[in-house]
Structure formats: structure tokens, C-alpha cells
């Protein structure tokens, strides 16, 4: 994706945390020569050597799985909070825009099965069940039921080759207009607006 130099997001710990918190991603490849996208949860895992991989799964009925392992690279997109920025909030004439956080991950995919697929499913469920009442665990599911579900899935692991991260948060505005934008976003009822305002406050010392 195009990233303006002011919006380049270079903090690896922040980007990794963003991926974990926005794990419902979009996997883009080509299927029979056409762009194809699947919306799916993925799990970010650190390896002992310091690298990171993504793993996920697709339904066997989804033809995308038949071609992802043959692709030179695939793209996984993570989108976070975003908000419309009205130019009426500025102290000068300008055009409206949109603030957002997004991360694009490129990598090479290999298919996984057996114990690796089971590890992925356990990790994914454990991540999203943490802190919930009546927590579900893969380990407590009946073997027959679980086996039937797994037969309908194809797992994959993505070795990350590139990460492009953009935090477009009005970095080009002076302190006065930056603060005005934050105040307007905080006054709005949309959750995304408030989240963007919080991200902006983290990046500039506003009172």
C-alpha cells in the first residue's frame, strides 16, 4: 500500500500488538486468475529464532486453499479503527480526509495438518476465549465431533517476508489543529472515532 513518510509506522512492538488485537484479517490471493479475498481470524506466533509467523485455516469448500501454497506471496490485511475527519474542524480552509491504522503482511504459505493444525486451533480458541465466562477449550470437545470439524478445514502457516504499516493520524497538522481534531472525535458517539482520538493522543503530547 502507499504510505506517506509521515504516516510510516515503524515500531515493531506496536505493530505486532496491533496484529494481535485486530486478528480478524483479510487474506488476498488469486483464484483462477481473479482476485480472491477471505475474511478469517489468524494467530500471530513468535518463533524461538525471533521471527514471526501467522497461522489460520480455511474451509475445504473454499477454493482459495488449493492455490495459496503455490503462490509466490500472499497478502494479509489487518484494519484497525478509522474515522472521517471533517475539514470544518480546522482553523483554515482544507479538504476532509480519513484517519486510520492498517497493516499489510506479505508472506509465503505452506499448508499444515495433523498436530500443527491442532496447535493452531487450540491457540486461536485460547486467545479469544481468555477472560470469557464458561470458557471453551478445544481439549474439552468430544473427539468424534472435533475430528469431523477438522476434516472440513485446511490449515496454513504464513512465513512473514514483509510488513507495511500505516498510522495516518493527522501527523501533518500543527498542535492547535491536531488537538481540535482529537476533541471533535472524542465528542462523537462512534466507537471508531474515540479509538482514533486515543491513538492520536498517544502519538503527541496533548493536554
Share of the chain above pLDDT 90, in %: 89
pTM for the model: 0.92
Statement: residue 130 has pLDDT above 60: yes
The answer to whether residue 34 is domain-embedded is yes
**If pLDDT is split at 50, 70 and 90, which confidence band does 69 have?**
confident
Query: What is the count of structural domains for the chain?
Result: 1
Statement: residue 143 has pLDDT above 80: yes
CA distances from 180 to 46, 82, 159, 185, 204 (A): 39, 17, 42, 9, 13
CATH value at residue 77: 2.30.110.10
The answer to whether residue 193 is domain-embedded is no
Rounded CA separation 122/118 (Å): 6
The answer to whether residue 69 is domain-embedded is yes
The pLDDT of residue 160? 96
The three-state DSSP-derived secondary structure of 104-156 is EEEEEEEEECHHHHHHHHHHHHHHHHCCCCCCCCHHHCCHHHHHHHHHCEEEE
Residue 63 makes CB contacts below 8 A (sequence gap 6+) with 31, 32, 36
Q: Can you give the residue range of the structural domain that contains 31?
A: 5-172
The pLDDT of residue 206? 45
* Helices 143-151 and 114-129, axial angle in degrees (round to 10): 110
The answer to whether residue 188 is domain-embedded is no
Rounded CA separation 94/166 (Å): 22
Place of cell 514471526: 52
Rounded CA separation 83/185 (Å): 8
The answer to whether residue 125 is domain-embedded is yes
Stretch 132-158: mean pLDDT: 93
Amino acid at each position: 500500500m502507499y504510505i506517506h513518510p509521515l504516516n510510516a509506522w515503524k515500531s515493531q512492538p506496536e505493530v505486532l500488538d496491533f496484529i494481535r488485537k485486530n486478528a480478524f484479517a483479510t487474506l488476498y490471493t488469486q483464484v483462477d486468475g481473479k482476485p480472491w479475498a477471505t475474511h478469517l481470524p489468524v494467530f500471530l506466533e513468535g518463533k524461538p529464532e525471533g521471527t514471526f509467523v501467522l497461522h489460520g485455516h480455511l474451509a475445504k469448500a473454499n477454493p482459495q486453499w488449493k492455490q495459496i501454497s503455490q503462490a509466490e506471496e500472499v497478502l494479509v490485511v489487518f484494519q484497525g479503527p478509522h474515522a472521517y475527519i471533517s475539514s470544518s474542524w480546522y482553523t483554515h480552509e482544507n479538504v476532509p480526509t480519513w484517519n486510520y491504522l492498517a497493516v499489510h503482511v506479505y508472506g509465503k504459505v505452506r499448508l499444515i495438518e495433523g498436530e500443527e493444525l491442532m496447535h493452531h486451533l487450540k491457540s486461536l480458541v485460547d486467545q479469544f476465549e481468555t477472560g470469557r465466562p464458561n470458557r471453551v477449550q478445544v481439549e474439552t470437545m468430544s473427539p468424534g465431533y472435533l475430528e469431523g470439524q477438522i476434516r472440513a478445514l485446511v490449515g496454513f502457516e504464513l512465513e512473514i517476508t514483509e510488513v507495511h504499516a500505516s498510522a495516518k493520524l493527522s501527523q501533518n497538522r500543527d498542535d492547535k489543529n491536531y488537538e481540535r481534531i482529537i476533541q471533535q472525535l472524542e465528542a462523537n458517539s462512534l466507537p471508531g472515532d474515540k479509538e482514533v482520538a486515543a491513538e492520536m493522543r498517544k502519538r503527541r503530547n496533548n493536554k
